[in-house]
């Protein structure tokens, strides 16, 4: 059985960006996570200690989102490393990170990155 914990459209206000104005003014960002976790034991016990807590994952992501970076790729990498470090039962991560209304001359709602990675051996 493959099982996943999903956190969809976590919203943050942060100061990521290449341009100086972006780091001063900030922008809205959205994070979507699909965490591969064996939840079979939690299905039986109904105990949060037998799974990965959504609230704890949110706090780990928020900590990384609060640290300004130039590139979304850098932020995404930090989030992935943090989640693997803090939650040893996470086997794989699919992450999407979007910046809303990026400062470019285009009619665009979001721009972002998507990363799919398994836990390093």
| Catalytic site positions | 99
CA dihedral of 109, 113, 116, 117, whole degrees rounded to 10: -150
β-bridge pairing 110-118 and 90-100: antiparallel
Of the candidates 99, 57, 100, 98, the one whose C-alpha atom is nearest the C-alpha of residue 79 is 57
């Amino acid at each position: 059985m493959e099982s996943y914990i999903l956190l969809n459209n976590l919203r943050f206000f942060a100061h990521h960006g290449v341009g100086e104005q972006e780091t001063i003014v900030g922008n809205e960002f959205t994070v979507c996570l699909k965490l591969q976790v064996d939840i079979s034991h939690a299905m039986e016990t109904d105990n949060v200690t037998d799974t990965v807590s959504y609230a704890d994952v949110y706090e780990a992501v928020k900590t990384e989102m609060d640290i300004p970076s130039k590139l979304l790729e850098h932020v995404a990498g930090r989030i992935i490393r943090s989640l693997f470090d803090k939650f040893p039962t996470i086997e794989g991560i699919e992450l999407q990170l979007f910046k809303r209304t990026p400062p470019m001359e285009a009619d665009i709602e979001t721009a972002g990155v998507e990363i799919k990675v398994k836990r390093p051996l």
